[in-house]
Amino acid sequence: MSDTISDTCPPTFGFRVEAESEAVPEARRKIVALVRGWDVPLPDDAFGDLELLSTELITNAVRYTRASCAVAVRWTGVRVRVEVTDVSPARPHRRHGSLEAEGGRGLLLVESLATTWGSTPDPAGKVVWFELGPSGGTPPPRSTPGKWTITTDSGSATSGYLPAWAEDDPTEAGVPMDQLPERLAGINHRNFFEGPMLPLTAPDVWEGVEEDAVFEGSVDCNPYDPDPGLRVPVVNLQVCVGRWILGLDPLGVAEIAAKLRAHADFLDEKVRPALIAAREDWVAHQPA
């Protein structure tokens, strides 16, 4: 992505970090230099935190996946936001009073220094992000309803509708003409929503039982997708970590909702009474 900053949209920049030892320090320096160059109202002492937090997220991404990751840096109008996307669906989990990512050194540093931070599922794996800036108030949305425009280095412009609910604006300037098809293919209007937290276990990812969300997901629209059914908004549901139900149209969402309601009723009206009866029977026949 180009680091050209438009007067009509907040600064944003993205780049890829290879899984090499020297790549992390280079990425850290690039992020700090980029934000300083934007001349945003971030306190001087926050740049040290920016460096430390960026290092932590990028190191975790490349160390535990042994693959490259994608970094996006944004100015929301209130805070600096750094997003790191890697290929692993395993999201950071709290264990034994600490925060760990794929068994790594932990993300307690992120929790203590960042204004806010979190993670979201992504078709590529996951996104882990943090923000630095004022803790009061709510940052404005990072996209503006109406229109996105990608301008090439030859001056030609391609535009499209930008939904009000989209979390990102693909607007970009100075794109090499031969990279335009790739940029268009990568446009994904997205808005995440949360799911209920349930106790899950995944022996191949973490030990023991962890509280995690199920049936969380996102509203997605890929206007240049080869599949016409994905060029309109659909819902993608992650059943649990790394497991998704994809490409739902409105009827599909209704069908899933009906099944969840039916399953909830089944658990409450059938399974729960049977469990109570079984426990009472056990106590009656197997004294402590």
Q: Convert the pLDDT of each residue in 173-193 to its tens digit.
A: 888 999 999 989 989 888 777
Quote the mean pLDDT of the chain.
79
Query: Can you tell me the distance from the alpha carbon of 233 to that of 188, in angstroms, rounded to the nearest whole number?
Result: 10
pLDDT at 58 over 90: yes
Specify the pLDDT at position 135: 65
DSSP per-residue letters across 218-283:
EEEE-TT-SSGGGSS-EEEEEEETTEEEEEE-HHHHHHHHHHHHHHHHHIIIIIHHHHHHHHHHHH
Going by pLDDT thresholds of 50, 70 and 90, the confidence category of residue 241 is: low
Q: What percentage of the chain carries pLDDT values higher than 70?
A: 82
Specify the pLDDT at position 164: 77
Specify the pLDDT at position 101: 44
| 17 φψ region: left (φ > 0), alpha (ψ -120 to 50), beta (else) | beta
Judge contact between 56 and 110, C-beta under 8 A: yes
Specify the pLDDT at position 165: 75
Beta partners for 200?
Answer: 210
Specify the pLDDT at position 138: 43
Task: Tell me the per-residue pLDDT of 73-97, one tens digit each, with 9 for 90 and over.
Answer: 988 777 899 999 998 888 775 444 4
Specify the pLDDT at position 96: 41
Query: Can you tell me the distance from the alpha carbon of 126 to that of 195, in angstroms, rounded to the nearest whole number?
Result: 16
Task: Tell me the per-residue pLDDT of 130-177, one tens digit each, with 9 for 90 and over.
Answer: 999 876 544 443 444 578 889 898 989 999 888 877 777 888 888 899
Specify the pLDDT at position 60: 87
Q: Letter for the amino acid at 256?
A: I
Query: Can you tell me the distance from the alpha carbon of 71 to that of 84, in angstroms, rounded to the nearest whole number?
Result: 5
Closest CA to 229 of 245, 252, 247: 247
Count, residues in the chain: 288
Topology classification of domain 1-134: Heat Shock Protein 90 (3.30.565)
Specify the pLDDT at position 158: 93
Report strand pairing: 210-213 vs 197-200.
Answer: antiparallel
Task: Tell me the per-residue pLDDT of 2-44, one tens digit each, with 9 for 90 and over.
Answer: 333 334 345 678 899 998 878 999 999 999 999 998 888 888 8
Specify the pLDDT at position 163: 83
| Mean pLDDT score, 275-285 | 77
Specify the pLDDT at position 35: 93
